[in-house]
Amino acid sequence: MNIGVDLDRRGAILIVTLNRPDKRNAMTSTMLRRLVEVFESLCAEPDVRVVVVRGAGSSFCAGLDLREMEEARAAAGTVALTDIQDVFRALEAVPQPTIAMVHGEAIAGGCELALHCDLRVAADDVRFAMPLARLGLVLPFPLVQKLLDSVGTAATKELLFTGEFFAADRAVALHMVNRLVPIAELEATTFRLAETVAANAPLAVRAMKRMVQRGNRFREGIDHADLDAEVERVARSEDVKEGVRAMREKRPPRFRGE
């Protein structure tokens, strides 16, 4: 059964492909669980030196599956993002360097998936967006921290407040991507980079990755229990129900702030 996550090997490079192209690789709960399994298993894979994360079809990833989000809201009265945060935690804990091969749309969870990789190679058709406010949702605090680390305060506010797309030129200016290439050159460029990293001493590369992560760990000490509670309250609001339904129906939402 196709669960939407394919694995392939290219020498020392593991390729993780989101494979729901008809849904722009929107992630289901099954996909999220599989991604956690894959990323957590890499600690025991010394022969893997680099991990490439990519999307099949015309886009990298459109975030969470809206139909499943709507069903979760109907069943539990809330939309929980815990599962997707588990994916990002597991991805950041991967000891090997990770590279996102990004093209087309990288929306919400798809944007965060790319940003949680160590490096990003993007095609010139790439468009990043964080349209959670259009759904009535709040991004959890650790994921806001990732945006702050990646693009800074002003751009994070613009991404979150407007929900608008940041196209390739803006992504480069904000250092959201490491390399930007024509889409025809995306795969070749990504694998050249992956092979360059894989050819280096693996113990040294992994140690340097741990050092960079340790240097950024001071952010983990920030208390955000009150913000977590606010995220939960907003997730139970009527605005979420309206936002998800409006996006699925391709119409403007009618938010009431309740």
How confident is the model over 107-136, as pLDDT tens digits? 999 999 999 999 999 999 999 999 999 989
First to last CA, the chain: 41
Nearest to 141 by CA among 226, 82, 227: 227
Q: What percent of the chain has pLDDT over 90?
A: 76
Query: Between residues 44 and 1, which one has the greater pLDDT?
Result: 44
Domains of the chain by start residue, with CATH: 5-186 (3.90.226.10)
Per-residue confidence (pLDDT) for residue 75, from 0 to 100: 56
CA 61 → CA 46, 76, 171, 178, distances in Å?
A: 28, 25, 16, 18
Confidence tier at 76 by pLDDT (50, 70, 90): low
Per-residue confidence (pLDDT) for residue 78, from 0 to 100: 56
Tokens of 220: 């983990």
Helices 141-151, 225-235: crossing angle, 10 deg rounding: 110
What is the CA 257 to chain-centroid distance, rounded? Answer: 28
Strand 166-167 relative to strand 119-123, pairing: unpaired
On the question of pLDDT at 77 being above 60, the answer is no
Amino acid of residue 192 = R
Residue labelled with tokens 């936002």: 243
Residues 6+ apart with CB under 8 A from 127: 104, 105, 106, 165, 166, 167, 168
How confident is the model over 1-34, as pLDDT tens digits? 568 999 999 999 999 999 999 999 999 999 999 9
Whether this model's pTM surpasses 0.85: yes
Confidence tier at 235 by pLDDT (50, 70, 90): confident
Residue 126 belongs to what H/E stretch? none
Residues 6+ apart with CB under 8 A from 114: 53, 60, 61, 100, 102, 106, 120, 128, 176
How confident is the model over 137-178, as pLDDT tens digits? 899 999 999 999 999 999 999 999 999 999 999 999 999 999
Instruction: Write the burial class of residue 100 (CB in 10 Å: 0-12 exposed, 13-18 middle, 19+ buried).
Output: buried
Nearest to 43 by CA among 219, 218, 212, 209: 209
On the question of pLDDT at 73 being above 70, the answer is no
The order of strands in the sheet holding 98-102 is 5-10, 13-18, 50-55, 98-102, 119-123, 179-181
How confident is the model over 174-197, as pLDDT tens digits? 999 999 999 999 999 999 999 999
